[in-house]
Amino acid sequence: MGTEMKTIAKIHTEYKKKFGIPRQSGIVEASEAKIVFEPKYRNADALRGLEEYSHIWLLWEFSENIREGWSPTVRPPRLGGNRRKGVFATRSPFRPNPIGLSCVKLKEVIFKSSEGPVLIVSGADMLDGTPIYDIKPYLPFSDSQPDAVGGFSDSVKDYSLNVVCPKEIADTIPNEHYKAIMDVLAQDPRPSYQHDPNRVYGMKYADMEIRFTVDGDILTVTEAYYVNKNTL
Protein backbone atom coordinates (compact mmCIF):
# COMPACT_ATOMS: atom_id res chain seq x y z
CA MET A 1 0.00 0.00 0.00
CA GLY A 2 1.38 3.41 -0.98
CA THR A 3 1.96 6.22 1.46
CA GLU A 4 -0.83 8.78 1.61
CA MET A 5 0.29 12.20 0.40
CA LYS A 6 -0.62 15.01 2.77
CA THR A 7 -1.26 18.57 1.65
CA ILE A 8 0.94 20.68 3.92
CA ALA A 9 0.21 24.06 2.35
CA LYS A 10 -1.37 25.89 -0.55
CA ILE A 11 0.24 28.50 -2.74
CA HIS A 12 -1.54 31.72 -3.62
CA THR A 13 -0.45 33.13 -6.96
CA GLU A 14 -1.72 35.69 -9.46
CA TYR A 15 -2.46 32.92 -11.97
CA LYS A 16 -6.22 32.43 -11.68
CA LYS A 17 -6.57 30.26 -14.81
CA LYS A 18 -4.30 27.66 -16.39
CA PHE A 19 -3.91 29.74 -19.56
CA GLY A 20 -0.93 32.01 -19.07
CA ILE A 21 0.88 30.06 -16.35
CA PRO A 22 4.63 29.90 -17.21
CA ARG A 23 5.63 26.51 -18.58
CA GLN A 24 8.54 26.27 -16.15
CA SER A 25 9.38 27.69 -12.75
CA GLY A 26 11.85 30.54 -12.45
CA ILE A 27 11.03 32.03 -15.85
CA VAL A 28 8.89 34.89 -14.52
CA GLU A 29 10.68 35.99 -11.36
CA ALA A 30 8.71 39.25 -11.20
CA SER A 31 5.63 37.27 -10.18
CA GLU A 32 5.43 36.79 -6.42
CA ALA A 33 3.35 34.23 -4.52
CA LYS A 34 2.55 33.34 -0.93
CA ILE A 35 2.65 29.87 0.60
CA VAL A 36 0.16 29.42 3.45
CA PHE A 37 0.37 26.26 5.55
CA GLU A 38 -2.58 24.10 6.46
CA PRO A 39 -3.62 24.47 10.15
CA LYS A 40 -1.98 21.19 11.17
CA TYR A 41 1.40 22.35 9.82
CA ARG A 42 1.38 25.97 11.05
CA ASN A 43 4.38 25.46 13.23
CA ALA A 44 7.19 27.98 12.87
CA ASP A 45 9.69 25.42 14.19
CA ALA A 46 9.27 23.45 10.95
CA LEU A 47 10.75 26.43 9.05
CA ARG A 48 13.65 27.10 11.40
CA GLY A 49 16.78 27.65 9.27
CA LEU A 50 14.93 27.89 5.95
CA GLU A 51 15.59 31.64 5.81
CA GLU A 52 19.27 30.81 5.25
CA TYR A 53 18.51 29.55 1.73
CA SER A 54 17.88 31.60 -1.40
CA HIS A 55 15.80 28.99 -3.28
CA ILE A 56 13.54 26.08 -2.41
CA TRP A 57 12.01 23.08 -4.12
CA LEU A 58 8.24 22.67 -4.07
CA LEU A 59 6.59 19.29 -4.57
CA TRP A 60 2.97 19.86 -5.55
CA GLU A 61 -0.15 18.48 -7.20
CA PHE A 62 -1.44 19.21 -10.69
CA SER A 63 -4.85 19.58 -9.07
CA GLU A 64 -6.59 20.71 -12.28
CA ASN A 65 -5.17 17.92 -14.45
CA ILE A 66 -6.21 14.78 -12.60
CA ARG A 67 -7.59 12.15 -14.97
CA GLU A 68 -8.20 8.42 -15.12
CA GLY A 69 -5.59 6.40 -16.96
CA TRP A 70 -2.45 7.72 -18.58
CA SER A 71 -0.68 7.87 -21.94
CA PRO A 72 2.96 6.82 -22.41
CA THR A 73 3.49 9.69 -24.86
CA VAL A 74 2.47 13.36 -24.88
CA ARG A 75 2.71 16.30 -27.29
CA PRO A 76 4.95 19.00 -25.77
CA PRO A 77 3.55 22.47 -26.60
CA ARG A 78 6.97 23.89 -27.43
CA LEU A 79 7.30 21.31 -30.22
CA GLY A 80 4.15 22.62 -31.87
CA GLY A 81 1.82 20.12 -30.29
CA ASN A 82 2.26 17.65 -33.17
CA ARG A 83 5.36 15.67 -32.11
CA ARG A 84 5.21 13.01 -29.45
CA LYS A 85 7.71 12.39 -26.67
CA GLY A 86 7.66 9.91 -23.82
CA VAL A 87 5.80 11.32 -20.83
CA PHE A 88 8.85 10.72 -18.62
CA ALA A 89 10.98 12.76 -21.07
CA THR A 90 8.74 15.80 -20.52
CA ARG A 91 7.28 17.91 -17.75
CA SER A 92 3.74 17.45 -18.98
CA PRO A 93 1.07 17.73 -16.26
CA PHE A 94 -0.64 14.60 -17.62
CA ARG A 95 1.27 11.91 -15.73
CA PRO A 96 0.50 8.64 -13.94
CA ASN A 97 0.76 10.63 -10.70
CA PRO A 98 -0.18 14.33 -11.08
CA ILE A 99 2.90 15.62 -9.24
CA GLY A 100 4.88 18.72 -10.12
CA LEU A 101 8.34 19.87 -9.02
CA SER A 102 9.34 23.54 -9.04
CA CYS A 103 12.34 25.54 -7.93
CA VAL A 104 11.38 29.02 -6.71
CA LYS A 105 13.23 31.92 -5.16
CA LEU A 106 12.62 32.35 -1.45
CA LYS A 107 12.02 36.05 -0.89
CA GLU A 108 10.99 36.02 2.75
CA VAL A 109 10.10 33.75 5.64
CA ILE A 110 7.43 35.30 7.84
CA PHE A 111 7.33 33.32 11.06
CA LYS A 112 4.30 35.09 12.54
CA SER A 113 1.24 36.36 10.69
CA SER A 114 -2.54 36.10 10.92
CA GLU A 115 -2.21 32.98 8.76
CA GLY A 116 0.59 31.45 10.78
CA PRO A 117 4.08 31.18 9.27
CA VAL A 118 4.10 31.98 5.54
CA LEU A 119 6.65 31.98 2.74
CA ILE A 120 6.94 34.66 0.06
CA VAL A 121 8.42 33.26 -3.15
CA SER A 122 8.91 34.33 -6.76
CA GLY A 123 9.07 32.44 -10.03
CA ALA A 124 6.27 29.99 -9.27
CA ASP A 125 4.51 28.24 -12.15
CA MET A 126 1.37 27.16 -10.30
CA LEU A 127 -2.32 27.94 -10.35
CA ASP A 128 -3.70 29.91 -7.42
CA GLY A 129 -4.64 27.49 -4.63
CA THR A 130 -2.39 24.63 -5.77
CA PRO A 131 -1.80 22.04 -2.99
CA ILE A 132 1.82 21.61 -1.88
CA TYR A 133 3.05 18.26 -0.59
CA ASP A 134 6.57 19.12 0.51
CA ILE A 135 9.20 21.87 0.68
CA LYS A 136 12.94 21.24 0.51
CA PRO A 137 15.91 23.63 0.35
CA TYR A 138 17.74 24.01 -2.95
CA LEU A 139 21.39 22.98 -2.56
CA PRO A 140 23.64 24.67 -5.15
CA PHE A 141 26.55 22.25 -4.71
CA SER A 142 24.43 19.22 -5.63
CA ASP A 143 21.27 20.45 -7.33
CA SER A 144 23.05 22.54 -9.98
CA GLN A 145 24.60 20.62 -12.88
CA PRO A 146 26.21 23.16 -15.27
CA ASP A 147 27.17 20.48 -17.81
CA ALA A 148 23.73 18.87 -17.95
CA VAL A 149 22.14 18.23 -21.37
CA GLY A 150 18.56 19.43 -21.78
CA GLY A 151 17.29 17.15 -24.55
CA PHE A 152 14.74 18.63 -26.94
CA SER A 153 14.14 21.53 -24.52
CA ASP A 154 17.57 22.98 -25.36
CA SER A 155 16.33 23.80 -28.86
CA VAL A 156 13.47 25.97 -27.57
CA LYS A 157 14.84 27.37 -24.30
CA ASP A 158 15.48 30.82 -25.80
CA TYR A 159 12.07 31.07 -27.46
CA SER A 160 10.32 34.36 -26.73
CA LEU A 161 8.09 36.96 -28.34
CA ASN A 162 8.59 40.69 -28.66
CA VAL A 163 5.79 42.29 -26.65
CA VAL A 164 4.26 45.57 -27.77
CA CYS A 165 2.03 47.30 -25.24
CA PRO A 166 0.67 50.71 -26.31
CA LYS A 167 1.24 53.40 -23.69
CA GLU A 168 -2.46 54.05 -23.17
CA ILE A 169 -2.89 50.38 -22.22
CA ALA A 170 0.35 50.13 -20.24
CA ASP A 171 -0.80 53.06 -18.11
CA THR A 172 -3.83 51.06 -16.95
CA ILE A 173 -1.75 48.16 -15.60
CA PRO A 174 -0.62 48.52 -11.95
CA ASN A 175 3.13 48.98 -11.61
CA GLU A 176 3.43 45.97 -9.29
CA HIS A 177 2.01 43.69 -11.99
CA TYR A 178 3.36 45.24 -15.20
CA LYS A 179 6.72 43.47 -15.48
CA ALA A 180 5.29 40.08 -14.53
CA ILE A 181 2.52 40.40 -17.13
CA MET A 182 5.00 41.44 -19.84
CA ASP A 183 7.31 38.53 -18.94
CA VAL A 184 4.43 36.04 -19.06
CA LEU A 185 3.36 37.33 -22.47
CA ALA A 186 6.91 37.18 -23.80
CA GLN A 187 6.93 33.44 -23.07
CA ASP A 188 3.94 33.02 -25.43
CA PRO A 189 1.05 31.51 -23.45
CA ARG A 190 -0.73 30.32 -26.61
CA PRO A 191 -1.00 26.67 -27.59
CA SER A 192 1.85 26.18 -30.04
CA TYR A 193 -0.43 24.96 -32.82
CA GLN A 194 -2.33 28.27 -33.03
CA HIS A 195 -0.90 30.81 -35.47
CA ASP A 196 -3.86 32.94 -36.54
CA PRO A 197 -2.65 36.60 -36.47
CA ASN A 198 -6.24 37.83 -36.25
CA ARG A 199 -7.22 35.78 -33.24
CA VAL A 200 -7.58 37.66 -29.96
CA TYR A 201 -6.42 35.74 -26.89
CA GLY A 202 -7.31 36.47 -23.29
CA MET A 203 -5.17 35.85 -20.22
CA LYS A 204 -6.07 36.55 -16.61
CA TYR A 205 -3.41 37.77 -14.21
CA ALA A 206 -4.32 38.93 -10.71
CA ASP A 207 -7.59 40.85 -11.15
CA MET A 208 -6.90 41.83 -14.74
CA GLU A 209 -7.83 40.40 -18.10
CA ILE A 210 -5.15 40.95 -20.72
CA ARG A 211 -6.12 40.56 -24.38
CA PHE A 212 -3.58 40.27 -27.17
CA THR A 213 -2.83 39.14 -30.71
CA VAL A 214 0.30 37.48 -32.10
CA ASP A 215 1.68 37.97 -35.60
CA GLY A 216 4.94 36.14 -36.20
CA ASP A 217 7.17 36.97 -33.23
CA ILE A 218 5.28 40.15 -32.31
CA LEU A 219 2.70 40.03 -29.52
CA THR A 220 0.52 43.13 -29.29
CA VAL A 221 -1.56 43.89 -26.21
CA THR A 222 -4.98 45.12 -27.31
CA GLU A 223 -6.81 45.51 -23.98
CA ALA A 224 -6.20 45.43 -20.23
CA TYR A 225 -9.08 45.68 -17.80
CA TYR A 226 -10.27 44.53 -14.41
CA VAL A 227 -12.46 41.47 -14.76
CA ASN A 228 -15.07 42.68 -12.30
CA LYS A 229 -15.02 46.31 -13.35
CA ASN A 230 -15.41 48.34 -16.49
CA THR A 231 -12.44 48.71 -18.81
CA LEU A 232 -9.96 51.10 -17.24
Per-residue pLDDT tens, the chain, 232 aa: give them.
567 889 999 999 999 999 999 988 999 999 999 999 999 999 999 999 999 999 999 999 988 766 677 888 988 776 666 688 899 988 888 888 889 999 999 999 999 999 999 999 999 999 999 999 999 999 999 999 888 898 877 766 667 899 999 999 999 999 999 999 999 999 998 877 778 899 999 999 999 999 999 999 999 999 999 987 544 4
Cα-Cα-Cα-Cα torsion 11, 9, 142, 106, nearest 10 degrees, comes to 50
> Are 149 and 157 spatial neighbours (Cβ–Cβ below 8 Å)?
no
Whole-angstrom distance, CA of residue 88 vs CA of residue 133: 20
Whole-angstrom distance, CA of residue 22 vs CA of residue 142: 25
Predicted TM-score (pTM) of the model is 0.89
Phi and psi for 168 in degrees, rounded to 5?
-65, -25
Phi and psi for 13 in degrees, rounded to 5?
-120, 175
